[in-house]
Amino acid sequence: MDDVPLKVKLILYIGFSVLIVMAVTTAIIINTSTTQNEELAYKKSIEKASNYANQFNSDMQSNMAIARTIASTLTVYNSSDREEVNDFLREILVDNPNLIGTYTGFEPNAFDGRDSEFAGTEGYDSTGRLVPYWNKIGGTMFVEPLIDYDTLDYYQLPKQLEEEVLTEPYLYQGELIASYVAPIMRDDEFVGIGGVDVSLNYIDEIVSNVTAFEEGYAFTTSNEGILLSHPVHKEWIGSKTLDDFNDPEISRMANDILVGKGGHIETTDPTTGEYSIIFYEPVRTGNYSFILVIPEDDMLADVTALRNELILISSLALIFMAGAAYLVAMSITRPINDIVSNFAYISNSALKGDLKRRAETDVEVDFRKIPSGLNDILDSLQTYSDELEEANEELKSLDQMKDSFLSNVSHELRTPLTSIKGYTQNVYDGTLGDLNDQQKTSLGTVMRNSERLRRLVDSLLYVSQAQAEIIEYDFKECQIAEIMNNTVMDTIMLVEANDLHIEKKIPSGLPLIVADKDRLVDMLNNIVDNAIKFTPPGGMITLGAYEEEKYLHLTVHDTGIGIPKELIPNLFRKFYQIDSSIRRKYGGTGLGLYICKEIVDAHSGEIWIESEPKEGTTVHIKIPKPRSTLEVSGSKE
């Protein structure tokens, strides 16, 4: 080493020492920071799950309090006025929109000793017992007698246990509900119940919109593991249990939920197929659990990004410090120490997100580029951050302008379009004079395209109204045959112009449905319009309907080009089209099936598509039958 220049020795000693210290410090910082952020992510997820669990727990305590109020009121009630009791139950149902039903049920002759006088009369069953059930299942408030109280838990459990009961979720007339029931006790003797029913659909509506990080989602289960909500698989609600997934970790979670225990597991999510962290917290009052599912990569994405950023920044810091060591070795001067100290201060500020700090440039001329270069980097980062914020604000403004533009244009086009269509119809019908065949053919083309433009305008208007949440529906009794006849009349010119055939297969005697007739016609028009566009000349479009136990099942079948199965789940998304070549060849806005889905959802129905390429397409729609029709069918059975 005696022959090695002092400059090289200083570079080696100082440089090596700095590298070792920086490497160790960087490793400690990275490990500490990532561990803290990982713990924060876990804590954040657990708190989110707990908060929602507490929210639902509060709701259920409120519902049980109402049931308790009914029972306690009727315990001390001595007037024996059945009408007054009905008014009391109805008023509670009106004052509490979250409830779907209120009721009481008394043992034989336990209310007023006059059961035989009311047997078989309106609002009573054959026993004449006071068992009114006020409910608004289906949307309309009405009263009917309780059913199956001799066997079902909602009556038998409070009677046997003589304490308040919250039932397991169950399906009643297509609604997933839970019953909150309190016993009516007089002189320590059970005489009846008071209770309320709550639809659990609101849980699905709330929980389906819960998000965590970028890709996380939530759902709820009963203490038996029955799914009460799910953002993707609605068909699982009320029918699938956690044990059905055949996953040891999920089964362990199900066992914890059964005993009201919270926690988290790590396993492959059956919905997404991603390795995920699943947090679960009990809802104490209802014996339910709130479950939060977060992909591990998503949950720890910030931690990974932070670690990578720290590695990159630390690597840059190591390079700069090596350079600083070289300068120290060259001159051992104060300015070098000042620069290193200033650089460390700026680096720490930048690591904490403060990009406004700037390095001191009043240094020796030989070293002035170091702080200046750092300031240039910070200036560039600050400018980029400001530009991103400005661009984000501009995008929000443009999105609002787009929605306003669509709404205004749709309204402005409807009036002149109606006039164009009306006057064209008058000319086409010969009201304003005779036409030759060529003129009539041309006017037919104008009428078809006017109708097509009207549908486009209506679609845009519907979407803008949906965005603003101002769509109104006019539900009335109507015949499905009349709705399909209207669709055929609306589309027959376009069908014939495309050299297609359309037919109906509608059996006689179908029951009435309660629906918005015009909206259903619009829905079928959209579906038939799609069938026309994608069916080659000479093809057939068939409209069908048949009755099921709880639904009228409508179908629209065509002999068109069909759809690949993997694309079908996307068809009901707004503005979705299969690909650009399809859009160029067949036209369309990608709104038709989105609007159909919105209309069917508004009718509490279902819609899905079955199709194979080159085998045609069938669109299925299920519309619920009215409650009165279901009761008639049940009585016949």
pLDDT for residue 175: 80
Predicted confidence (pLDDT) at residue 292 exceeds the cutoff of 80: yes
Query: 46 CB contacts (<8 Å, ≥6 apart)?
Result: 264, 279, 281
The CATH number of residue 562's host domain is 3.30.565.10
Query: Which of 173-177, 213-217, 394-398, 468-472 comes out lowest in average pLDDT?
Result: 394-398
Residues 170 and 195 in one domain: yes
The CATH number of residue 177's host domain is 3.30.450.20
pLDDT for residue 632: 45
Mean per-residue pLDDT, 15-33: 70
Is residue 590 one of the residues assigned to a domain? Answer: yes
Predicted confidence (pLDDT) at residue 634 exceeds the cutoff of 50: no
Residues 584 and 480 in one domain: yes
CB 294 within 8 A of CB 2: no
Residues 466 and 542 in one domain: no
How far is Cα 623 from Cα 524, in angstroms, rounded to an integer? 13
Mean per-residue pLDDT, 580-584: 49
Query: 503 CB contacts (<8 Å, ≥6 apart)?
Result: 540, 541, 542, 543
Best CA proximity match to 406, nearest among 458, 472, 473 = 458
- 156 phi and psi angles, rounded to 5 deg: -70, -40
Is residue 204 one of the residues assigned to a domain? Answer: no
Predicted confidence (pLDDT) at residue 383 exceeds the cutoff of 60: yes
CB 107 within 8 A of CB 191: yes
Alpha helices in 76-104 (DSSP H): 82-95
Q: Is the pTM of this model over 0.85?
A: no
Residues 573 and 627 in one domain: yes
How far is Cα 624 from Cα 176, in angstroms, rounded to an integer? 15
Q: What percent of the chain has pLDDT over 70?
A: 75
Looking at per-residue pLDDT, the higher value among 189 and 326 belongs to: 189
CB 313 within 8 A of CB 353: no
pLDDT for residue 584: 47
How far is Cα 194 from Cα 149, in angstroms, rounded to an integer? 13
Residues 511 and 594 in one domain: yes
Alpha-carbon torsion angle 418, 421, 426, 429, nearest 10: -140
607: exposed, middle or buried (Cβ count in 10 Å: 0-12, 13-18, 19+):
buried
pLDDT for residue 363: 67
Residue at which a domain ends, from 171, 199, 227: 199
Q: Which pLDDT tens digit goes with each residue over 478-488?
A: 999 999 999 99
Predicted confidence (pLDDT) at residue 444 exceeds the cutoff of 80: no
Residues 86 and 174 in one domain: yes
How far is Cα 218 from Cα 23, in angstroms, rounded to an integer? 41
Most confident among 94-98, 363-367, 396-400, 457-461 (mean pLDDT)? 94-98
Predicted confidence (pLDDT) at residue 316 exceeds the cutoff of 80: no
Long-range contacts of 498-501 (CB under 8 A, 24+ apart): 498/532, 498/535, 498/537, 499/537, 499/538, 500/532, 500/535, 500/537, 500/538, 500/539, 500/540, 500/541, 501/539, 501/540, 501/541
Predicted confidence (pLDDT) at residue 367 exceeds the cutoff of 50: yes
Predicted confidence (pLDDT) at residue 443 exceeds the cutoff of 70: yes
Residue at which a domain ends, from 160, 177, 199: 199
Q: Which pLDDT tens digit goes with each residue over 50-69?
A: 777 677 778 788 889 999 99
Mean per-residue pLDDT, 216-222: 87
Residues 519 and 599 in one domain: yes
Query: Which of 289-303, 396-410, 582-596 comes out lowest in average pLDDT?
Result: 396-410
Residues 122 and 190 in one domain: yes
Residues 462 and 587 in one domain: no
Mean per-residue pLDDT, 392-420: 63
pLDDT for residue 627: 76
How far is Cα 453 from Cα 447, in angstroms, rounded to an integer? 10
The CATH number of residue 414's host domain is 1.10.287.130
Task: Give the C-alpha distances (Å, rounded to integers) separating 54 from 9, 46, 280.
Answer: 66, 12, 12
Best CA proximity match to 318, nearest among 621, 27, 630 = 27
Q: How would you list the strands of the sheet with 501-505, edge to edge?
A: 501-505, 540-547, 551-558, 617-624, 606-611
Is residue 287 one of the residues assigned to a domain? Answer: no
In which element (H, E) is residue 30 found? Answer: helix 6-75
Is residue 537 one of the residues assigned to a domain? Answer: yes
CB 570 within 8 A of CB 560: no
Residues 503 and 460 in one domain: no
Predicted confidence (pLDDT) at residue 202 exceeds the cutoff of 60: yes
Predicted confidence (pLDDT) at residue 636 exceeds the cutoff of 50: no
Q: Which pLDDT tens digit goes with each residue over 545-578?
A: 999 999 999 999 999 999 998 888 888 888 776 6
pLDDT for residue 416: 72
Predicted confidence (pLDDT) at residue 628 exceeds the cutoff of 90: no
Computed over every residue of the chain, the mean pLDDT equals: 81
Task: Give the C-alpha distances (Å, rounded to integers) separating 368 from 316, 325, 349, 365.
Answer: 18, 16, 20, 5
Mean per-residue pLDDT, 255-278: 90
399 band by pLDDT with thresholds 50, 70 and 90:
low
pLDDT for residue 446: 78
Q: Are strands 216-222 and 211-212 parallel, antiparallel or unpaired?
A: antiparallel
pLDDT for residue 353: 62
Is residue 116 one of the residues assigned to a domain? Answer: yes
Query: 460 CB contacts (<8 Å, ≥6 apart)?
Result: 406, 409, 410, 589, 591
Residues 91 and 184 in one domain: yes
Q: What percent of the chain has pLDDT over 90?
A: 36
Query: Strand, coil or helix: what is 154?
Result: helix
**Structural domain span for residue 539:** 474-636
Beta bridge partners of 544: 505, 555
Q: Which pLDDT tens digit goes with each residue over 148-163?
A: 999 999 999 999 999 9
Per the structure, how many domains does the chain have? 3
Q: Which pLDDT tens digit goes with each residue over 485-505?
A: 999 998 998 899 899 999 999
How far is Cα 506 from Cα 524, in angstroms, rounded to an integer? 15
pLDDT for residue 260: 84
Residues 447 and 542 in one domain: no
Q: Where are the beta strands (DSSP E) in 472-580?
A: 476-478, 501-505, 513-515, 540-547, 551-558
How far is Cα 527 from Cα 457, in angstroms, rounded to an integer? 16
Residue at which a domain ends, from 471, 493, 524: 471
